[in-house]
Amino acid sequence: MNLYEYEAKEILAQYGVPVPEGRSVTTAADAEAAAKALPGHKFAVKAQILAGGRGLAGGVELAPTPSKAGEIAKRMLGSRLVTKQTGAEGEVVERVYVETAVDSRKDFFLAVLVDQALAQIVVLGSKNGGVDFEDRVLREPGIVETLPVDSNGSLDDTLCDVFLNRLGISGDAAAEARGIIEALVKVFRRIDATLIEINPLTLTSEGTFAAVDAKVSIDNNALFRHPEFAGLASSAGGDEIEMQAQKDEINLVRLDGNIGVVVNGAGLALATQDGISDAGGKAANFMDIRTTATSLQVARGIGILLNDPNVKSILVNIHGGGMTPCDTIAEALALALAWSDRKVPVVTRLAGHNADYARQMLVDRGVPHERCDTMQSAISAAIARAA
Amino acid sequence: MSILCNSDTKLIVQGMTGRSGTFYTDQAITYGTNVVGGVRPGKGGKTHIGRPVFDTVRDAMAQTGADATMIMVPAHNAADAMIEAIEAEMPLIVCVTERIPVLDMIRVKDALRGSVSELVGPNSQGVLTPGACKIGVMSTADAKPGTIGIASRSASLTSEVVASLSAVGLGQSTTVGVGGDPVHGIGFQRCLELFMEDPGTTGIVLVGEIGGSEEEQAAAYIKANHCAKPVTALVVGRHAPAQRRMGHAGTLSVFGSGNAASKNAAFRSAGVSVVENVDDVAQAMAGTMAAA
């Protein structure tokens, strides 16, 4: 679960991370009032969306006066912000964050995440923080420094000194930076984060640090022990249809093609997508039916595809395993087609556990479909039907 | 021959008395796995599906001589179950449970350092030595005993590869699901070490996915150790859109690593036969085996 900037900053502030003072608002009038109440003479107005890349897409603007802050908020609220990470549809701005703008002497990048290979929490830092950091790091991976965190959450003094030294942070600033790193690690472990990213961590003209932007992602698998996050606005955010599918034990990601795909297992789903792309087709979605999904849940998932006007054919590619036998999917397909008024050609390729039984079930129930015996032939047929 | 488990393996099941624990224990017994008991705190001394239940892993090992455990407890207890097995010095731990918090897995990996245990999983379909021992939840319908070792990040693709290998007459020594989680037990490299040492394995298939650095590490290992047995690799997710997370697959790293092209390039430079589609794995393996 990704948090909005204003939610992330509220949590970070509780742990002592310095953040500029700010308010989250949903109207232009409130934005102007918020700016009036804030310290300072210059304000940043920031669109609250869950995707990154706002800065380069016009989602962050500076206002020299409170009334200007109100005008900017009026323009942003209700608009659709398209960034590199939102996809072409963009995300509607329903809330803006107004905060005191800080004068930057230098922008750093600081992040805490799990190094998968080392199975360890690590802190990443760079003296080249700012809006273009993500592009730059791909060209110059050497601009990132790494600091490992012990399994009990503590930092090695020497390694920490070396890390800060490499970032060019010394003296009083180094002591403050270390405090910020320790606070970030503490909050990371406390809230079951998978990522905390501060970009930029700004060294202000007064010589102190401010976390000017913050991204926090929380481990969905740990939400059971964090009831405090259930009330956050971001827990209701994201794509409504994808969230609905999640409730039905289906990982669904909507894409912009015209072939709806029904697949069990993330690996087979990726392989199916590769096959479709190689053959010149475009998938309308990625679907990974979890092993715990029932036929009723899968039927609702297929229903999402049937209801999507962009979907011109449906490819059912199932390798029945120990936990998801083919008949569960056949049952779901029969149900979903019976519920739907929209007729979409269906191509099936069933293999593995209970494949024969499932094929017979589709025939017995009179489910209209084109049966294929290999993945390649099924992909070709689905592309042909969608054309 | 095989790796990790064989017909001598004595298996216990942590969480045997639960619904899925019961179901998959029963299936393992039917397959011929020597299930010697189960663990469920508070139910020690009882019998469940004809097997004794113990309060702790340590008790179960002392009483039965178990040398492997399958963990099927709910996600919120799974890390503690793994750590209990590690502390009891269980040689093989296979964790099927999915959706375990990643910080819990960091705790588990910390306990594993310097221990005697091999951990497979979590979020793994398990380990199968066809015809001898099933520890997990995989389909066994198409598996045949043989000499091809499989290590895979995907349960569904393992079934796919097993079926196609069996169809061309290539049976399997052992199939290992390394699991779909970002932090997990043994990876491709450890599987390769074990398969290379195993006289019963003559060829190896690796099934990878985008994300992480498992494939790159395996390629570096193959290159450095001049592995004598032929390896065929498949990496799926060549056309997954960047910057979107797809289920467990492709947990894309911000920091460069992890796309299919770089993984395939690493494999090729290590002399691995790389195939692009799952349908091609069996033919490629058959071809390499004939040439070897």
Residue-level pLDDT at B177: 97
Distance from CA of A85 to the nearest CA of B (A): 7
Q: Which of A16-20, A107-111, A167-171, B257-261 has the lowest mean pLDDT?
A: B257-261
For A150, which residue in chain B has the nearest alpha carbon?
A: B110
Question: Among the options B48, B76, B184, B248, which is catalytic?
Answer: B248
Q: Do A267 and B256 touch (CB under 8 A)?
A: no
The count of residues in chain A is 387
Give CA–CA dist B120/B126, Å, rounded: 7
Residue-level pLDDT at B292: 65
Q: Do A322 and B138 touch (CB under 8 A)?
A: yes
Residue-level pLDDT at A239: 73
pLDDT band of A233, cuts 50, 70, 90: low
Given CB atoms, is A294 within the 8 Å cutoff of chain B? Answer: no
Among candidates B241, B102, B245, B182, which has minimal Cα distance to A220? B102
pLDDT band of A236, cuts 50, 70, 90: low
Given CB atoms, is A253 within the 8 Å cutoff of chain B? Answer: yes
What ipTM score was computed for the predicted complex, to two decimals? 0.89
Residue-level pLDDT at A55: 80
CA atoms within 13 A on the CB side of A293: 34
Give CA–CA dist A212/A337, Å, rounded: 51
Q: Are A279 and A338 in contact (CB under 8 A)?
A: no
pLDDT at B84 over 90: yes
Q: Which of A138, A273, A321 is opposite residue B156, by nearest beta carbon?
A: A321
Q: Which of A117, A271, A320 is opposite residue B236, by nearest beta carbon?
A: A271
CA dihedral A16, A21, A24, A29 (to 10 degrees): 170
CA atoms within 13 A on the CB side of B8: 4
**Average pLDDT estimate for A100-124:** 93
Residue-level pLDDT at A323: 74
Given CB atoms, is A119 within the 8 Å cutoff of chain B? Answer: yes
Residue-level pLDDT at A299: 94
**Average pLDDT estimate for A22-38:** 96
Among candidates A112, A131, A266, A316, which has minimal Cα distance to B240? A266
Contacts of A255 in chain B (CB under 8 A): 241
Q: Do B277 and A269 touch (CB under 8 A)?
A: no
In one letter, which amino acid is A232?
A: L
pLDDT at B54 over 80: yes
A 302-331: CB under 8 A from B:
319-323
Close Cβ partners of B178 (under 8 Å, ≥ 6 residues apart):
B120, B121, B124, B151, B152, B153, B184, B185, B186, B187, B188, B191, B214
Residue-level pLDDT at A231: 76
pLDDT at B274 over 70: yes
User: Hey, of A1, A261, A319, A372, which one would you mutate to test binding to chain B, going by the most B CBs within 10 A of its CB?
Assistant: A319
pLDDT band of A51, cuts 50, 70, 90: confident
* C-alpha to C-alpha distances, A171 to A178, A383, B252, nearest whole angstrom: 11, 63, 37
Residue-level pLDDT at B18: 93
Q: Which of A239-253, B75-89, B176-190 has the lowest mean pLDDT?
A: A239-253
Which class for B124: exposed (0-12), middle (13-18), buried (19 or more C-beta within 10 A)? buried
**Average pLDDT estimate for B191-218:** 94
Q: At what angle do helices A5-14 and A172-190 cross, to 10 degrees?
A: 110
More confident residue, B239 or A332: A332
- The string of pLDDT tens digits covering residues A307-323 is 999 999 999 999 987 67
Given CB atoms, is A226 within the 8 Å cutoff of chain B? Answer: no
Buried b or exposed e, range A293-320, using 16+ CB within 10 angstroms = bebebbbbbbbbbbebebbbbbbbbbbb
pLDDT band of A251, cuts 50, 70, 90: confident
* C-alpha to C-alpha distances, B132 to A203, B40, B135, nearest whole angstrom: 63, 26, 10
- The string of pLDDT tens digits covering residues A284-310 is 999 989 888 899 999 999 999 999 999
Please give the helix or strand (H or E) that residue B260 lies within, else none: helix B260-269
pLDDT at A356 over 60: yes
Close Cβ partners of B57 (under 8 Å, ≥ 6 residues apart):
B12, B14, B39, B69, B84, B85, B88, B90
Give CA–CA dist A377/A360, Å, rounded: 20
A 358-377: CB under 8 A from B:
374-376
**Average pLDDT estimate for A36-57:** 90
Q: Answer yes or no: B184 catalytic.
A: no
- The string of pLDDT tens digits covering residues B229-268 is 999 999 998 888 765 543 333 233 344 457 888 899 999 9
Residue-level pLDDT at A235: 66
Q: What is the 3-state secondary structure (H, E, C) of chain A?
A: CECCHHHHHHHHHHCCCCCCCEEEECCHHHHHHHHHHCCCCCEEEEECCCCCCCHHHCCEEEECCHHHHHHHHHHHCCCEECCCCCCCCCEECCCEEEEECCCEEEEEEEEEEEECCCCEEEEEEECCCCCCHHHHHHHCHHHCEEEECCCCCCCCHHHHHHHHHHCCCCCHHHHHHHHHHHHHHHHHHHCCEEEEEEEEEEEECCCCEEECCEEEEECHHHHHHCHHHCCCHHHHCCCHHHHHHHHCCEEEEECCCCEEEEEECHHHHHHHHHHHHHCCCCECEEEEECCCCCHHHHHHHHHHHHCCCCCCEEEEEEEECCCCCHHHHHHHHHHHHHHCCCCCCEEEEEEECCHHHHHHHHHHCCCCCEECCCHHHHHHHHHHHHC
Bond before B241 cis per omega within 30 degrees: no
Give CA–CA dist A99/A34, Å, rounded: 8
Close Cβ partners of B208 (under 8 Å, ≥ 6 residues apart):
B153, B188, B214, B215, B218, B233, B234, B235, B236, B263
Please list the residues that pair with A23 across neighbouring strands: A98
Residue-level pLDDT at A238: 63
Contacts of B247 in chain A (CB under 8 A): 251, 266, 269, 286, 288
More confident residue, B142 or A135: B142
Give chain A's mean pLDDT. 91
Give chain B's mean pLDDT. 92
